[in-house]
Structure 1
């Protein structure tokens, strides 16, 4: 048996047939709205009044990677702590007290 699914976009303003989904963002919040061509044009014209007076900015910054040197430093701290007889996990964050003792010793 065949199944056919039909997705019909409705204009979120008046319920008529929507022709596109418009995405926009303001104050750090992203939105999308399904609109017919007239409402999409109206939205763009309204927003254009403000965007043409404003200035573009860079998008949100992505996650920064931890430098490789941080990993080797962690390995050095762990090795030192174990040599000193201190209890330190082989993975995860290193206790601040152990890090402070390592820095004081070096």
Structure 2
């Protein structure tokens, strides 16, 4: 432990920080004097420009601005829509990450189960006699139903079968 002598105090270090923002022209890298905001196709853009480049941009837009009309004031709705879209994108990103995480955990669990199963199968196969492999029965697809031949023999007639998926029944207002 360090000992503090009488009459002395630990020194405090005080630092000052100054943040200085310098605008740089996004076109040529020279010093910029202003940030110009414009929108095209519903997307707002900002660009830092020198006086010369800002004037060039405005002169390019001038003939279009002369013939354009100002849209009705819907900035609140637009801002609200932008916020909702941003929230939806964030929620979608989070959901995607959750799905990817669940898929990764499933892959890891299945590969661990396969690794755990391999030694047990090897031990049981050492003493087992070699058996002749019997091919599995062929499965047929009939109108979307998949049944092996042995399953079809034991099934009740078609009129007694219950569909695997029940579809909702819709009725019109006139019914």
The answer as to 2:41 corresponding to 1:24 is: no
Gaps of 5+ in 2: 1-14, 78-175
Structure 1 distance, partners of 2:62, 2:76, is 27
What CA deviation, in whole Å up to 9, does each residue of 1:2-29 have, x standing for no partner? 1111111100000000000000001100
Structure 2 distance, partners of 1:61, 1:7, is 29
After superposing on structure 2, the runs of 4+ consecutive aligned residues of structure 1 that deviate more than 6 Å are none
Q: Report which of the two structures shows the higher radius of gyration computed on alpha carbons.
A: 2
Aligned length: 63
What CA deviation, in whole Å up to 9, does each residue of 1:35-58 have, x standing for no partner? 000000110111111010122222
Structure 1 distance, partners of 2:17, 2:75, is 43
Q: Of 43, 57, 74, which aligns to 1:43?
A: 57
SS of the aligned residue for 2:36 comes to strand
Scaled by the length of structure 1, what TM-score is found? 0.55
Label 1:54 to 1:15 Cα distance change in 2 as closer, same or farther (>3 A): same
Scaled by the length of structure 2, what TM-score is found? 0.34
What CA deviation, in whole Å up to 9, does each residue of 1:37-89 have, x standing for no partner? 000011011111101012222233534xxxxxxxxxxxxxxxxxxxxxxxxxx
Residue correspondence of structure 1 range 18-97 to structure 2 within 5 A: 18-60=32-74, 62-63=76-77
